[in-house]
Structure 1
Amino acid sequence: MPGITSYGAYVPYYRLTRKAMGGGKGERAIASFDEDAVSMAVEASRDADLSAVDTLLFATTSPPYAEKLNAAAIAAALSLPSSIRSTEIGSSSRMGLGALLMGADAAAAGRHALVCVSDVVVGAPSGSREKGGGDAAVAFVTGPDDEAIARFVGQASATTELLDVWRLPGEKFANQWEERFGAEILGPISNDTAKRALEDAGVQPSDLAAVVLDATNKRDVAGIPRALGLQKEQLADMLEANVGRTGAAHAGLVLARVLDSASPGDKILVVSTCDGCDAAVLEVTDKITAGRPKRSVDRWIASARNDIPYNTYLKWREILPFEPPRRPDLDRPAAPPMQRNQHWKYGFYGSRCTECQSGYLPPQQVCLTCGSVNKMQEEAFADVPCKIKTYTFDHLAYTLQPPVVSTVVDFQGGGRLTCEMADVDPASVKIGDQLEMTSRRLYTGSGVHNYFWKARPQR
């Protein structure tokens, strides 16, 4: 049986309290102004084991490009081989679990698939989607049974045509029909799909250690616990209080959190309902401990800042008009230099002198230490720790989160770079602080996204 061989997750640093949005308890995770579905998918994938990946599946309802393979930018940032097969799916938040099931099918055919699911959920101000939504990403690698930390033992699906949640091209906010209508149609379908998945797995509801119930309208799956006779302790925390529903990523994010504390032999039911229903049953193997990522979902959630003003969030999402800076527009990134410097720009590859071991970012041909020419080898710096050598605050440079924190960082093992910092409180910056690199969207110029890397405090 195919299974999940490794996984990773990512929850952005910033939170927006529901009180700031006009009322309610708790908070939602919000991507920073320099994050999108691609950059978050990269961050989630970096904690997974990508060494054998030959297939990439990317699911999102918030693609940065409407027509261009966003998965190609993910593959470049993760330095995946150019021979990789890539597919992108979206249009429905159910496609997160759908992509994972496609990954299982790919693994059954002998492939190793990286399944990235990432979403930036934007709702109309004061609406339920704005308050109840959240931004996050999750990644799973699927492979053969003998490598699995959790194997797929059963699944079932249903596809239903109904007008429940929809958004037209060019519309910023999704629309949703009256909730009772969707629940009347999708409730029985969700119950039936969950039962068929358990029958396919040969698993009784009482055998389940955890049940993940995800839907655009939680009433669509509210009847499953009673239909299956589940106990309250079997139901997974759906992270409503501190993250929100993270669109296509949500079923996978909650599954990742369940795997963070699962024991060998645990059986997990995952249900995702939207325009139909997908359900999967997984059984955790004895490889689970060795296959867990460095950072758990709870660790990402705990690393947070929740004092972002509501009007700042609205500016980040381009909902609230504001006066632009009185400076020339940013230049559109040009295709030829981006292509020539792909390993540096996306994969964050520098160079190291083979004669004296000096590191260079960006990559160089001439060593400034020993003078050697063309004695360099490529080296990945994305996962190398670094620390602040010096820094400055730029109050004149344009940013949606002023001031710009510009820093010079020294990398462990050699190498120095001047770069911006992300996810940082300027008042807390100190020389010697330990940092790590993170993939970000620096800006968008004339419709072209400019991805590169920034440094952030270790999370």
Structure 2
Amino acid sequence: MPGLIAYGAYVPYHRLARADIAATLGTPPSRGTRAVAGYDEDTTSMAVEAARSALTRDGLRTRIGQLFLATAAPAYLDKTNATAVHAALGLDPHVLAVDMAGSVRSGLGALLTAARSPVPTLAVLSDLRTGLPGGGEESAGGDGAAAFAFGGHRNGAPVLAELLAHDTVSDEILDRWRLPGAPASRVWEERFAEEIYASLADKALSAALDQAGLDRDAIDHLIVSGLHARACATVRRSAGVRPEAATADLTAEIGNAGTAQPGLLLADVLDRAEPGRIIALVVLGDGAGVLLLRTTDALPAHRAVRPVAAQIAAGSAPMPYATFLSWRGLLDREPPRRPDPEPPYAPPAHRRNSWKYGFVASRCEKCGTRHLPPDRVCVSCRSIDAMTDEPMEHVRGTVATFTVDRLAHTPSPPMLVVVVDYDGGGRFRCQLTDATEADAVIGARVEMTFRRTVTAAGVHNYFWKARPVRTGETEGTGA
């Protein structure tokens, strides 16, 4: 039986309090917070983090045959963003990596295509929602990513949730749109599409339940996701499931992450669902789609390394609203009086792909010395070309020393730079992110995270940074 073999989610560390937006702009106050991608994050970097969380079991990465990246906010146009995710994960060169981009419905498309594929497929849903200052999407939106690997027992991986049935209904509904180059989406009056979406969701859910031979009382967890908040609320009330089956939408804590929202909600349910439970995922947007899943006995032993609830709880104190506007390019701050940063150059970047994207070091076969970055000549025994590759993205380390640089070119001054001594050997200097000056201390434990270091001349420069290990976080194998 085909089904889900791995999953993971990523919720950015930063938070923005909706009350701060209201206090600054004089709009009606609203409660809760939204998740905010850091100044050095985009949908590609968040996709890498979600996929790393999913593919922690030994050998799982080698089984993936396809990679789909779904987003409504791609970092590049006319260039495949999924290939950067592919490179960061160190997948086989023959793995197909493609984007499904343009609308939030692309997330549903990636999930269904992966679930129905005969080849083990990784679907990554990532989104970054902004909106204009004072608009509903700025306050209600959120950022995040989720990843799901589908396969089956024949692929050598235990199935965590069987795919029982699925159905989709498509409809041309002008309730949300954004022209190329526009800074934010425009929406029609909410009452227009509320009943339309409710009717479409009912049709899709009924068809999926008929395929599976189930009735609505059999649903243990009902997940409803979409950017039309009123329609989602209506579907939850009118779905005909047991009241306790309707799950929370997490918008009060992290906002609505658009394309990634169904993935975040599904990951949150999988983090706590018991074996044998029926999950109905309903996705609204230009129609409706439904996936019916049944959890298996393998789920408790193979849950995600970082549960969604734990990531929500580990979020930062609310950031200043002005900082959020600056990070999103809506508040143009005076740049530092330094030369503009240079973009990465294509030929050397391509020659060092395994280091730049995969953070793969080398270890001397003669004396065991680890080299970061990788080298041909051992610094200890001077052996030449006696090296083996050693992936480092999962290896934690300790801060040996640090610098607080108040003059460096960065959207979030000051720049924190640390020298890390890695467990098992090796030392490297890199930036510290998702941190304050108080986090830059000798002896602090850090782990690596894939980030966008700078964008210059229209080119994103991706590399790895260190981030503090938060209390209570566990560590995967990074296989």
Q: Give the structure-1-normalised TM-score.
A: 0.97
Q: Which runs of 5+ in 2 are unaligned?
A: 23-28, 56-60, 471-479
Secondary structure of 1:242's aligned partner: helix
Q: Is residue 7 of structure 1 aligned with residue 7 of structure 2? A: yes
Q: Is the 8 A contact 1:5 1:150 kept in 2?
A: yes
Q: Is the 8 A contact 1:190 1:220 kept in 2?
A: no
What letter matches 2:264 in structure 1?
L
What letter matches 1:132 in structure 2?
A
**Could you report, residue by residue, the CA deviation over 1:358-401 in whole angstroms, capped at 9, with x for unpaired residues?**
11111111111112122111110000111100011001102122
Q: Is the 8 A contact 2:83 2:98 kept in 1?
A: no
Partner of 2:84: 73
Deviates more, 1:227-236 or 1:421-430: 227-236
Q: Is residue 43 of structure 1 aligned with residue 49 of structure 2? A: yes
Distance across 2 between alignment mates of 1:37 and 1:47: 15
Which of 1, 14, 33 does residue 27 from structure 1 map onto? Answer: 33
Q: Is the 8 A contact 1:97 1:252 kept in 2?
A: no
* Percent identity of paired positions between Structure 1 and Structure 2: 42
Q: Is the 8 A contact 1:242 1:301 kept in 2?
A: yes
Partner of 1:119: 127
Q: Is the 8 A contact 1:187 1:220 kept in 2?
A: yes
What letter matches 1:16 in structure 2?
L
Distance across 1 between alignment mates of 2:224 and 2:282: 5
Deviation of the 1:222 alpha carbon: 3.0
Deviation of the 1:195 alpha carbon: 1.8
> Residues 226 and 384 (structure 1 numbering): CA distance in 2 closer, same or farther, change over 3 Å?
closer
Segments of 4+ moved more than 3 angstroms: 225-228
Deviation of the 1:227 alpha carbon: 3.5
| 1:90-101 map, 5 Å | 90-101=101-112
Distance across 2 between alignment mates of 1:307 and 1:7: 28
**Pairs aligned (count):** 456
Secondary structure of 1:103's aligned partner: helix
What letter matches 1:36 in structure 2?
D
Deviation of the 1:275 alpha carbon: 0.6
**Could you report, residue by residue, the CA deviation over 1:413-447 in whole angstroms, capped at 9, with x for unpaired residues?**
11100000000121232211111000000001100
> Residues 277 and 170 (structure 1 numbering): CA distance in 2 closer, same or farther, change over 3 Å?
same
Secondary structure of 1:271's aligned partner: strand
Distance across 2 between alignment mates of 1:225 and 1:436: 39
Q: Is the 8 A contact 1:350 1:359 kept in 2?
A: yes
**Could you report, residue by residue, the CA deviation over 1:21-79 in whole angstroms, capped at 9, with x for unpaired residues?**
11211000000000000000000111223231010011000100011000000000000
What letter matches 1:388 in structure 2?
V
Partner of 1:327: 338
Q: Is residue 293 of structure 1 aligned with residue 301 of structure 2? A: no
Partner of 2:184: 173
Secondary structure of 1:383's aligned partner: coil
Deviation of the 1:226 alpha carbon: 4.3
> Residues 226 and 396 (structure 1 numbering): CA distance in 2 closer, same or farther, change over 3 Å?
closer
Distance across 2 between alignment mates of 1:408 and 1:117: 33
Q: Is residue 449 of structure 1 aligned with residue 460 of structure 2? A: yes
**Could you report, residue by residue, the CA deviation over 1:297-336 in whole angstroms, capped at 9, with x for unpaired residues?**
1111111113311011001000112222222221121100
Partner of 1:362: 373
Deviation of the 1:196 alpha carbon: 1.6
> Residues 430 and 272 (structure 1 numbering): CA distance in 2 closer, same or farther, change over 3 Å?
same
Which of 166, 170, 175 does residue 159 from structure 1 map onto? Answer: 170
Distance across 1 between alignment mates of 2:412 and 2:372: 26
Distance across 2 between alignment mates of 1:369 and 1:321: 49
Q: Is the 8 A contact 1:194 1:271 kept in 2?
A: yes
Distance across 1 between alignment mates of 2:239 and 2:323: 44
Distance across 2 between alignment mates of 1:228 and 1:331: 54
**Could you report, residue by residue, the CA deviation over 1:70-112 in whole angstroms, capped at 9, with x for unpaired residues?**
0000000000111001221122212212211110111xx2x11
Distance across 1 between alignment mates of 2:428 and 2:114: 38
Q: Is the 8 A contact 2:194 2:234 kept in 1?
A: no
Distance across 2 between alignment mates of 1:234 and 1:165: 29
What letter matches 1:117 in structure 2?
L
Which of 206, 222, 226 does residue 215 from structure 1 map onto? Answer: 226
| 1:59-458 map, 5 Å | 59-106=70-117, 109=118, 111-145=119-153, 147-458=158-469
What letter matches 2:132 in structure 1?
A
Deviates more, 1:112-121 or 1:81-90: 81-90
What letter matches 2:297 in structure 1?
D
Distance across 2 between alignment mates of 1:96 and 1:203: 25
Q: Is the 8 A contact 2:169 2:203 kept in 1?
A: no
What letter matches 1:326 in structure 2?
R
Secondary structure of 2:137's aligned partner: helix
Q: Is the 8 A contact 1:195 1:228 kept in 2?
A: no
Distance across 2 between alignment mates of 1:455 and 1:167: 36
Distance across 2 between alignment mates of 1:39 and 1:226: 36
Q: Is the 8 A contact 1:12 1:32 kept in 2?
A: yes
**Could you report, residue by residue, the CA deviation over 1:246-304 in whole angstroms, capped at 9, with x for unpaired residues?**
11010111000000111111000000101111111100011101221211111111111
What letter matches 2:10 in structure 1?
Y
Deviation of the 1:231 alpha carbon: 3.1
Q: Give the structure-2-normalised TM-score.
A: 0.93
Deviation of the 1:145 alpha carbon: 4.9
> Residues 292 and 442 (structure 1 numbering): CA distance in 2 closer, same or farther, change over 3 Å?
same
Secondary structure of 2:244's aligned partner: helix
Secondary structure of 2:326's aligned partner: helix
Distance across 2 between alignment mates of 1:69 and 1:242: 32
